[in-house]
Structure formats: structure tokens, C-alpha cells
Amino acid sequence: MKNLWAPWRMDYIKEEKTEECVFCTAPDKDLQDSLVIFEGALSIVLLNKYPYNNAHLLISPKRHKAELEDLNVEESLDLQRLLRHSVMVLKKTITPDGINIGLNLGVAAGAGIADHLHWHIVPRWEGDTNFMTTVGDLGVIPEHILKTQEMLRPYFENIG
């Protein structure tokens, strides 16, 4: 019998659940705890702590807003700039075959954190859905999330 090793899942299982917004509190936490890759004046980019795939990024405005229409023009432009930059970085560093970008507005649309807008950027590879996800309801992430954070952060240092 072979074992699937995913040590970061135990932290999630044992973690005390809080009402705090992960997007609002991320900039105040230690880099490893927050998984922040970039923090600008208006927006942040961080790794999804419970990803669908390796290098699954989240981009959000720093202000706690649930609706697109609540963003000002500067925030909207900054978020689009970071979406574009993030896609370029992922293409350069991990060379995915494709990328899913999604924004879920409201719980009915699938938002796990409905009170704070955030976009998912999920790298995809041909064949990344296999028997583990289909039969076992289990995903396999090939790289530890902290190693991914360490690899991606330098590509966000000079975007201002």
C-alpha cells in the first residue's frame, strides 16, 4: 500500500475556526501564515491555503467589499493589473497548459468567503484530473505551498 502525504491538511483539521476575514488579516500575519505573495496599496495576492491545484492564487482588494460595484475605479484597475501580472508569472514559472480565472459573487454562486471579493487563478495541466479526483474525491498537490510561495514572491517584488 502506498501513502499519500499531505501534512498541511492536519493544520486545517485542527485549526480553530474564526470569524476573521482571511483577506483583511493576511497583511498583518507572518508571511508563511498569510501566504501573501504581494501586498500593494489597494490589492493583495496570496496563495490559496486549501488549493484546487498547485500555485492556486487569490487576488483581492484590501478594502472589505462584497460587490464589484463597491470598488472604485482605481481598485478595479489595480485588480485587473494584478490578474494580468499573475497570469504572466504563472506562465513563466510553472508553465501550465491553461489557467482558470474565477470570481464567485455570493454564496449561491459558490463563494466560500462571500463578504470579501476575491478572484481565483488556478493553473491547469492536461490530465491534472485523474482517478484520485474522480474516484477518491482527493486532489494531489505536487509541491509544498511554502516552496511555491518562496518561488513566486520575487516575481511580484518590483511591480509597485
Q: Are 49 and 12 in contact (CB under 8 A)?
A: yes
For this structure, is 116 an active site residue? no
DSSP state of 157: T
In 3D space, the residue among 58, 84, 63 whose CA is nearest the CA of residue 74 turns out to be: 63
One-letter amino acid identity for 33? D
Q: Tell me which residue of 55, 60, 37, 49 sits closest to 123, measured CA to CA.
A: 55
Smallest Cα–Cα separation from 159: which of 56, 78, 76, 99? 78
| Cell numbers given for 121 | 487563478
Q: Is 44 exposed, middle or buried (0-12, 13-18, 19+ CB in 10 A)?
A: buried
85, 116, 118, 144: the active-site residue: 118
Cβ neighbours of residue 69 closer than 8 Å, sequence gap 6 or more: none
Residues with active-site annotation? 118
